[in-house]
Structure 1
C-alpha cells in the first residue's frame, strides 16, 4: 500500500511517517518546508518539496498512485491567520481542495484529515464532544473547519472515504516553539535557555494535552476504522497552565522564574475533549499520561 503524508516533515507528520515506515508501508512525503524541517524527514520515505497549492500536485498523484492520503500540511499559527487571512485561507482551504481534486482524479481510497479543537471556539460545555457547535474565533479555526465540509461533500459526490481527526493540544518530540505545539515547547525552550517562563493570566486556563505518539496511533487506526466519521483526539482530561508548569519544573528539578502577564483576549479559558466516540469507534486509547509524555519530551530536548 502506498501512502502520501502532506506535511510529513513537520512535527506530527514526521512522527506519523516514521511509524508508517516501521509498519512497512511505502511512504511519500510532500512538504514545502515552510515550517517542516529537512532533519525530520525519514530517509526511507520518498520526498517531494512542494506547496500543496501547486498545480503540479496532480502530476505527483498521477505518477505515484496513492491508496491513502494523510493530509496534515497546513498553516497552523493562529496569530499569523489573523495578520494574513488570505495566506491562511489559501493554504488551508485552497490547498485542501487541490489535494481533494487530485484524490478524486486518481481514485485515492481514503483521505485522513488533521483538524483541530479550534473549530469549536468558546465551548458551551465541557468536555467538548463531536456534536458541540462549531463557531471558530480565529481565521485559523475557520480555515481548518471549512475543509471538513469540503471533504464530506467530496465523499458524497465521488465516493471518497475519509476520517477527520480533531486534535487537542499535541506535544512531544520534534515539537517546535515556533510551530505547532504551543505552550509546552515554548516552556521547555525557555527553561533550557535559562529564561523566565511567561504565563498569561493567572495560570488557571486549562487544556487537554496529548502526546504525539498517541496522535500517531489514532491516525494509524484511521486507515481501518472510523470511515466517514469525525473524532476528537485528546485525553479527555484537563490540566491548568500552572499545573503544567509545576510538572515540568519537577521533571527538570530546577528553580524557574515565572512572570505573569495580562490575559490575552483571544485565548479560550477552558477546553478539553470528551473522547468516548474515539475510544469506541477507532479502537484507540491514549496510552501516555501527561507526566510520562512530558518526561519523554524533556529527554528529547535535552539530547537536542
Structure 2
C-alpha cells in the first residue's frame, strides 16, 4: 500500500511518516520545507520538495498513484492568518480543495488534520465533536472550511475520509519559534535558564497530547473504515502554571515564570473529549504527560 504524506517533513507529519515506515507502508512525502526540515525526513520515504498549490503537485498523484493521503500541510500561524487572510485561505482552504479533487479523481482515502481552533470558546468542557463550531480566528475558519468541503465530497462523490481535530500537540521536532507550541517555547527558554513568560495568571488550561500519540491516531484513521470527525486529545486539562512546574521538575530547575497582561482573544480553558476516537478508531493516548515531556526534554538536550 502506497501512502502520500503532504507536510511529511514537518513536526507532526514527520512523526506520522516514522510510524508508517515502522508498519511497512510505502511512503511518498511532499513538503515545501517552509516550516518542515530535511533533517526530519525519513530516509525510507520518497521526497518531493513542492508547494501543494504548484501545478507540479498534480503530476505527483499521476506518477505515484497513492492509496491514501495524509494532509498535514498548513499555514498554522494564527497571527499571520490575521495579517494575511488571503495567504491563509489559499494554503489552508484552496490547498485542501486541490488535494480533495485529486483524491476524488484517484480514489484515495483522505486523512485531514484539523484543529481544536474550530470550536472557539467552549460552551462546556470537555468539548466533544457535537460542540458548536465558532472559530475566533481566521486560522480557525480556514481549518474548518475544508472540513465542510470534505464532508460534501464524501456525500456527493463517495470520497473516503477521516478528519482529526488536534488538541495542543507537543513533542520532539516542534518549532519553538512559533506561537502555538507553548511546551517547546517554554522548554527552549528554561533549558537556557531563562524564565518562561505567561500571559495572564497562568490558571488558564490546555489539553496537551504527545506527538507520537497523534501519529498513532493518524494510522488508526487510515486503517479503520470509519468516516467522520474525531477529537485527538488527552482528555485532561492542565494549567499553564502546572506546565511550568512539570518542566521545572523534568529539567531539575526552579525557574519562576514572568507574568504579563492577558492577551485578548486567548481562550481561557480548553479540553477535548476523545471518547469517540477511542470507541470508533480503537485509539487512545499511550503516553502520560510526564512520559511525553521526558522524551521531549531528552530530544532537546541531544
Superposition TM-score tier, normalisation by shorter sequence: over 0.9
Q: Distance in 1 between matches of 2:13 and 2:278?
A: 22
* Maintained 8 Å contact 1:128/1:273: yes
Q: CA RMSD in A?
A: 1.1
* Pairwise CA distance, 1:228: 1.6
The answer on whether the counterparts of 1:171 and 1:181 sit within 8 Å (CA) in structure 2 is: no
Hey, what does 1:150 align to over in structure 2? 149
Please tell me whether the aligned partners of residues 114 and 166 of structure 1 are also in contact (alpha carbons under 8 angstroms).
Answer: yes
Superposition deviation, residue 156 in structure 1: 1.5
Q: 1:10 to 1:115 in 2, by over 3 A?
A: same
1:210 Cα offset (Å): 0.4
Distance 2:45 2:177 in 1: 25
In structure 1, how many angstroms separate the alpha carbons of the residues matched to 2:142 and 2:286?
A: 30
Distance (Å, rounded) in 2 between the aligned partners of 1:263 and 1:179: 18
Give TM-score, length-normalised by structure 2.
Answer: 0.98
Compute the displacement of 1:204 (Å).
0.3
Structure 1 CA distance, aligned partners of 2:179 and 2:65? Answer: 29
Q: How does 1:10-29 map to 2 (within 5 A)?
A: 10-29=10-29
Name the SS of the counterpart of 2:128 in structure 1: coil
| Deviation at residue 181 of structure 1 after TM alignment | 5.0
Does the alignment pair 1:82 with 2:103? no
**Number of the residue aligned with 1:127:** 126
Residues in 2 aligned to 1:245 and 1:112: alpha-carbon distance in whole angstroms? 33
1:111 corresponds to which residue?
A: 110
* Residues 192 and 3 of structure 1: CA distance in aligned 2, closer, same or farther (over 3 Å): same
Match of 1:267 in 2: 266
Shift of 1:155: 1.2
Classify the secondary structure of the residue corresponding to 1:28: strand
Conserved in 1, the CA contact under 8 Å of 2:198 and 2:259? yes
Q: Which moved more, 1:203-212 or 1:155-164?
A: 155-164
The residue correspondences of 1:1-304 to structure 2 (distance < 5 A) are 1-108=1-108, 110-179=109-178, 181-225=180-224, 227-303=226-302
Count how many residue pairs are aligned between Structure 1 and Structure 2: 302
Q: Secondary structure in 1 aligned to 2:223? A: coil
Note the C-alpha offset of 1:194: 2.5
SS in 1 for 2:295: helix
Greater alpha carbon shift after TM alignment, 118-127 vs 190-199: 190-199
Following superposition, the deviation at residue 190 of structure 1 comes to 0.7
Q: CA deviation at 1:40?
A: 0.5
Q: CA deviation digits over 1:35-73, x for unaligned, max 9?
A: 011110111100111111112211110111010000000
Could you tell me how far 1:176 is from its partner in structure 2?
1.1
Q: Deviations over 1:164-193 (max 9, x none)?
A: 000000001111112475110000111122
Measured in 2, the distance between the counterparts of 1:135 and 1:188 equals: 31
Deviation at 1:117, TM superposition (A): 0.2
Q: Distance in 1 between matches of 2:152 and 2:126?
A: 28
CA contact (8 A) 2:3 2:66 kept: yes
Q: 1:180 to 1:100 in 2, by over 3 A?
A: farther
Gaps of 5+ in 2: none
> How far 1:257 moved relative to its partner?
3.7
